A = this chain, B = another copy of it.
Amino acid sequence: MPRKVKLADVARDAGVSQGTASNAFNRPELVRPEVRERVEEAARRLGYAGPDPKGRLLRAGKVNAIGVVVNFDLKYFFSDPFSRMLMTGVAEVCDARAAGIALVSSINDAVAAWGIGSAVVDGFVLQCIEDGDRLVELAKKRGLPFVALDHDPGPDASLILIDELGGGRIAAEHLVGLGHRKFGILGLEFSGEGHTGLVDMARREAAEYDSTRDRLIGYSQVLAAAGIDVASVPVIEAQNDAAGAAKGAAELFDAAPDMTAILAMSDVVAIAAIQEAAKRGKSVPGDISIVGFDDVPEAAASIPPLTTIRQPIVEKGRLAAELILDGGPVRREKLPVNLVLRQSTAPPRHA
């Protein structure tokens, strides 16, 4: 196989210097049309497809691409509405600046280490659902700028999160305000070892994942303030996919057959709870009220439409991408959340 033709070959063949040939491709206006034509002709003859980005890259120092480190499993990633919205935001700003997006998966430590260590990008967005600390560590080692999402990477790195605790409070206040006293909490994972089902007090307090922990604290504060014994409110730990959510919802109904209200830590699990209620012949919101979290598109489309805590997911993605691409200083942003009232909540029947 003949050595690949490069710019220098084209230049020689066209009888111009390499610099001129480079200009012919990258800044054609600087080159006399006649000469440019000669260069293009030579390129065609030699089968030269244009300057190779690899060379340009090294030269330029900047890649103009951003790596999105995907928590755990790409299959989950693509099926999760939250991740989808996030990527919409990221993609929006990348498209606007002609920047690339590299997906870095982290199914296991080796893959994550390899990916973060060798992705050709200017920085990373870390979706820290699974093992945030580890990803942060890897990103720090790589030495490129990065933003951690929903997980504190320590003071010298950027962070975007939402007011998880406040969101938890708003959800609980809404339900308490409606008059509910019998609660069930449908939570997400507390830590990485795959435990699901009922969560005892020790585990509640040892929650490793920031979002889960803070949302639960928010719920608990409000419930306690309303004189409800939080320890007696069942908390279920569920995985945030279709199967895990269905299982968790069933477990919650089993654990608290007389509850009138569910605080759900994501819309995915909230919707599973709606379905489980239907399966058990309970009407929402007649027999049972449910508040979700996130406000993904599915929340508005569910039957009944889900009352939920909205967080600005797309904006989160946009902000994260901008942070990396603009290369500014370290920033820590806490985005606001708010209650979106729809039809899955109502006063309890006998209030």
Contacts and interface: CB of A to CB of B under 8 A. Distances in A.
A103 B87 CA distance: 11
A63 B91 CA distance: 22
B100 A100 contact: no
A345 B166 CA distance: 49
A88 B95 contact: no
A117 interface: yes
Q: How many copies does the complex hold?
A: 2
A120 B57 contact: yes
A7 interface: no
Interface stretch (A74-82, A157-165, A177-185, A257-265): A74-82
Interface string A100-140: 11111101000100110111100000000000000000000
A54 B95 CA distance: 23
A58 interface: yes
A102 B100 contact: yes
B53 A54 contact: no
A164 to B, nearest CB: 24
Contacts of A304: none
Contact of A91 (B75, B141, B242): B75
A101 B100 contact: no
B58 A102 contact: no
27 contacts: A47-B143, A49-B141, A49-B142, A49-B143, A50-B117, A50-B143, A53-B118, A54-B58, A54-B61, A57-B120, A58-B58, A74-B87, A74-B95, A75-B88, A78-B84, A78-B88, A91-B105, A95-B107, A98-B114, A98-B115, A100-B103, A100-B115, A100-B118, A101-B103, A101-B105, A102-B103, A103-B103
Interface of A: 47, 49-50, 53-58, 61, 63, 65, 74-75, 78-79, 83-84, 87-88, 91, 94-95, 98, 100-105, 107, 111, 114-115, 117-120, 141-143, 242, 301
